[in-house]
Structure formats: structure tokens, C-alpha cells
Amino acid sequence: MYNADEYNYHVVRDAEGKAFIATVVEFPSLSNIDDNQIGALTGMVDLVSFILADMKENGEEIPTPLTRRRFSGKISLRMTPEQHRRVATEATEQGISINQLLVSRI
């Protein structure tokens, strides 16, 4: 089983600037709100710990933390022929490859 501290957390201020909202990338439906950043993050890590234990107990598949996943650096991308033509044209105009253009946009 994975530990809660292996997951990717984000903490942001809410729109009114009154609270902090913590989220975790691998569990997009979870969030935790607190008056300060540390409380929001700590509460979120505690919640993930609880969820991990519950999922294990119920035999559910636990998401692999992004930090544990292997990435090849290759992505297969599908687009319409018209999009492909536009991207190829722009890359040619800039004197770079389509790959370089798309990577620069990410």
C-alpha cells in the first residue's frame, strides 16, 4: 500500500481569500478547506490516509501516486487533419519541428 505523503497535493486560496483549499491530484474528488495553508494540507493528508486504509479494507484498487509511475516521455496525440495541417504550417513557419512546437505549448 502507498503512504499518503507520496501523493501530489496543491493548496490554493479560495476566490474570496478567506480560506485555503487543499486537493490531491490522484484523488480529484477530494478536497479539504481550512483557515491556513498548513491546516488545509495536513487535513488533506489525513483524509487521504483514511481513504487509503478504507480502500485497502474494501479491496478497492488504490491509485498509484504519480511519483511512483514511470513516464516514457512519449505521447501519442490524435487530432483532425485540419489541426495537423495548421500545426505543421506553424512549425514550418517557425523553422522548428511539430514536436518542438507542441512541447513549447505545454
- pLDDT tens column, 29-75: 999 999 999 999 999 999 999 999 999 999 999 999 999 999 999 98
Quickly list DSSP for 41-99.
HHHHHHHHHHHHHHHHHTTPPPPPPGGG----S-------HHHHHHHHHHHHHHTS-HH
The residue count of the chain comes to 106
Lowest mean pLDDT among 9-13, 67-71, 82-86: 67-71
Based on the fold, state whether residues 52 and 93 are members of the same structural domain. no
Amino acid present at 38: I
Indicate the angle between helix axes 81-94 and 98-105, nearest 10 degrees.
Answer: 100
Reported confidence tier of residue 1, pLDDT bands at 50, 70, 90? confident
Domain of residue 45, residue span:
4-67
CA 23 to chain centroid: 10
Based on the fold, state whether residues 11 and 59 are members of the same structural domain. yes
Number of structural domains found in the chain: 2
Spatial neighbors of 64 by CB under 8 A, at least 6 apart, are 2, 26
Based on the fold, state whether residues 46 and 97 are members of the same structural domain. no
The mean per-residue pLDDT over the stretch 3-19 comes to: 96
Based on the fold, state whether residues 77 and 41 are members of the same structural domain. no
| Average pLDDT of the residues of the chain | 95
pLDDT of residue 41: 98
pLDDT of residue 8: 97
State how far the Cα of 56 lies from the Cα of 99, in Å rounded to an integer.
41
